[in-house]
């Protein structure tokens, strides 16, 4: 069975916007902004900081959540990425999208093993 995909207009918005709103898990919590990239028509995120109460760790325990694109909230499921080919493509997408002088250090860090191993695909539920 093929995984659900986001509609083209949502992918375009995520591709163009520098920040994606996200809430991990089902507990009441504020939406925070993170970096996201689109690769092969799929949405991927990585954690820069692996703090114990991070969105990434919440997704490990409870892989459901919400993203906010514009004024629209979309329920999602977080799926850990194992494919090294996809991880390489996600690293390249981060380098292309977040290429300002202030972003380059973070992009470099996010391409190292610690963050690379947090590569997560966001899949729509509705």
Determine the CATH number of domain 8-119.
2.30.110.10
Q: Out of 19-23, 40-44, 48-52, pick the least confident.
A: 48-52
For 90-117, what is each residue's pLDDT tens digit?
A: 999 999 999 999 998 899 988 998 999 9
For 46-102, what is each residue's pLDDT tens digit?
A: 998 778 788 999 999 999 999 999 999 999 999 999 999 999 999 999 999 999 999
H or E stretch covering 8: helix 8-16
Domains in the chain: boundaries: 8-119
Report the alpha-carbon distance of residue 120 to residue 33 in Å, rounded: 15
Maximum alpha-carbon separation in the chain: 42
């Amino acid at each position: 069975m093929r995984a659900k995909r986001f509609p083209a207009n949502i992918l375009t918005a995520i591709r163009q916007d520098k920040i994606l709103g996200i809430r991990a898990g089902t507990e009441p919590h504020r939406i925070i902004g993170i970096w996201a990239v689109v690769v092969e028509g799929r949405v991927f995120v990585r954690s820069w900081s692996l703090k114990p109460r991070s969105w990434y760790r919440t997704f490990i325990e409870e892989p459901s959540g919400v993203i906010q694109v514009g004024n629209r909230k979309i329920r999602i499921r977080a799926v850990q990425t194992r494919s090294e080919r996809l991880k390489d493509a996600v690293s390249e997408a981060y380098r292309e999208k977040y290429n300002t002088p202030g972003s380059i250090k973070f992009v470099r860090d996010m391409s190292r093993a610690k963050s690379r191993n947090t590569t997560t695909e966001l899949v729509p539920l509705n």
